[in-house]
Amino acid sequence: MHQQLTNLSDKELISRARKQKDREAEGVLMDRYSHLMVAVTLPYLKNNPSLDPGMIFPALLQRLSASLKTQTIYKANEWILHTQKGYLGKPERNTPFYPSRDGRDLLHIENKVEKASTNIIDQQDLAVRLEQALQRMSAEDRELLTAFYIENKSFADLSAAKGISRDKLRSQLKTAKGKLAKLYMNQGYV
C-alpha cells in the first residue's frame, strides 16, 4: 500500500488524509517533505543553540498533522514553510495557513471542474465561461491552447509548426494556461 501511495500527488494524499483519515497517506506526505522541513529549520537551530532539535521536530510534525485535518492546502511546500515559520517565530500564536491568492484561485477552479463532472448544468456553465475567457485572450495564446488541448496536437507537431524549441513551447503553454485561469477567475468580477 505504501508504494501505491508514494505515486499519488500531494493533492490526492492531502485529500485521503483529510477525508478518509488515512494516517499512512499523511505519513507519505510528511516523508516527502521532511527534507524541506529540516532544511528550513536548520538555520534557526544554528542561530539559537538553546533550541532542542529533539523537541522542535516532533512539535512541528504534530502541528502539521493537526493543521492538515482542518486547513485548506494547495501547495504542501508553502504550508510547511508557513507552519515552521509560525512555530519558530511566535510559538504562542497559532496562525492558520492561507494559500497564496493564485493557489486559492486554482483550487477554486479545480473544485468547480470536479463539481461539474457530475452536473450537466454546471458543465454547460463551465463551458460558456471558459469560451468567454478564451475569447478575451490574444489570438496567439488562444490558438496554442486550442491546438494542444482541443485538437490534441503534440509538442513535437506544435514546436515544428511554430519553429521554436519544445522548452520554449512548454513555457508559452504554461503562461497561456495561467492567463486563461486568471481571465476565468476574473470573470466574476467584471
- Report the CATH number at residue 113: 1.10.10.10
The answer, yes or no, to whether residue 117 has pLDDT greater than 70, is: yes
Give me the percent of the chain exceeding a pLDDT of 90.
6
141 shares its domain with 86: no
Mean pLDDT of the residues in the chain: 80
Please report where in the chains the cell 510547511 appears, as a residue: 80
More reliable by pLDDT, 59 or 117: 59
Q: With contact defined as beta carbons under 8 Å apart, do 102 and 74 qualify?
A: no
88 shares its domain with 107: no
Q: What is the pLDDT of residues 27-79, one digit of tens each?
A: 888 888 888 888 888 888 888 888 888 888 888 888 888 877 777 776 777 77
Among candidate residues 99, 116, 136, the one where a domain is terminated: 99
Among candidate residues 60, 79, 99, the one where a domain is terminated: 99
109 shares its domain with 146: yes
The answer, yes or no, to whether residue 175 has pLDDT greater than 80, is: yes
| DSSP-derived 3-state class of residue 1 | coil
One-character DSSP codes across 10-51? HHHHHHHHHHS--HHHHHHHHHHHHHHHHHHHHHHHHH-TTS
Tell me what percent of the chain is helix, strand and coil, each rounded to the nearest 5.
Answer: 75, 0, 25
Among candidate residues 34, 68, 99, the one where a domain is terminated: 99
Question: Looking at the 3D structure of the chain, how many domains does it have?
Answer: 2
8 shares its domain with 95: yes
What's 187's DSSP letter? G
Output phi, psi for 48, to 5 deg.
-130, 90
Q: With contact defined as beta carbons under 8 Å apart, do 141 and 134 qualify?
A: no
**Count of C-beta atoms within a 10 Å radius of residue 39:** 9
Q: With contact defined as beta carbons under 8 Å apart, do 14 and 29 qualify?
A: yes
Q: What is the pLDDT of residues 6-20, one digit of tens each?
A: 888 888 888 888 888
Range(s) of the domain holding residue 113: 102-189
94 shares its domain with 107: no
Among the residue ranges 36-50, 73-87, 118-132, 152-166, the one predicted with the least confidence is 73-87
Please report where in the chains the cell 511554430 appears, as a residue: 162
6 shares its domain with 81: yes
145 shares its domain with 177: yes
70 shares its domain with 113: no
> What does the pLDDT read at residue 27?
86
pTM above 0.85, yes or no: no
